[in-house]
Each structure stands twice: as C-alpha cells, then as structure tokens.
Structure 1
C-alpha cells in the first residue's frame, strides 16, 4: 500500500536504553510523504517513501520529522511505523 497524509498507522516507540520502559506500539498519523528517489522505487512499496508522523501518546503528541523519514517495517520494530492490522 502507498502511504498517504492523514493515514492512521502504528509507531513502535524506542523504549529506554536501560530497558526500564520497553518499546510500545502507539497510534500515529502520517503528516508528510515524500518519494525516495532510487532505482528500486515502486509506487505501492511503503519503503519507497519517507514519512513524517504525529505520534499520539496518552500524555500528549510527539512529532517525528527526521530528514530521512521514519522507517517502515512490516512487523512492529523499534523506531519504525507499520500499517495498522485489519480486524
């Protein structure tokens, strides 16, 4: 699927370095999508896009907008976004 602005996704937090706070899945909204120019670009491949996120925590929102985008992962992986499971 192609990521688009205003899409609900899941962001897996980094957790703390000491392990006191483990990574957790958080609701997030895609706020920016930019194609990554490469020879392997595919319009339906989420890895072909750099996205920015608004992550929704119980205590407030956090905006992730790194220059290289937040990475995509098929599975819940620390520091990555994933599609929300369909139920």
Structure 2
C-alpha cells in the first residue's frame, strides 16, 4: 500500500514501502495521490493535471531506500539519513 506524504517544504512523495508515519517531522499524510496533488496544487500555480507524475517516488529495494526518477531509475538515498529524515527534511 502506498503512502502519500508532503513535507513542510511542500515536496510531495509516494512511499511504496512500509514506514511508521508517526516518526515523520512536519509532514502531512493524504488518503490518495489525488488528495496529495490537490494539496500540492494549492502551493503552486499548477493544476492537479499538470502535477500528475511529478511526485517523488520512494521505495525500499534489497534493504536500501531509493528515490525513483520519472524514467524509473532507482537512486539510492544517502544511507547516513534515516528515511524519516529524508522525507521530513528534503529540499531541492
């Protein structure tokens, strides 16, 4: 089951592996991708349709956390960060 999360900086994620959302700091959780994108649209001048596909996908593969590019490439997340710190503190 996917989790739909926005952090305090307005970055939004679909987490495709199990995490304990109570360990997130300053993040909001949503019931669906559409609800997440609606919240993201309020922070931007974009529509939900324009934002669709721009979410950051995060998953655990072989005990390593990765973020997925929009082309499906898996990029390992710095292992000095917990997944909770990564999601809570992610900034571009």
TM-score class, shorter: under 0.3
With normalisation by structure 2, the TM-score equals 0.25
- Structure with a larger share of its residues in strand: 1
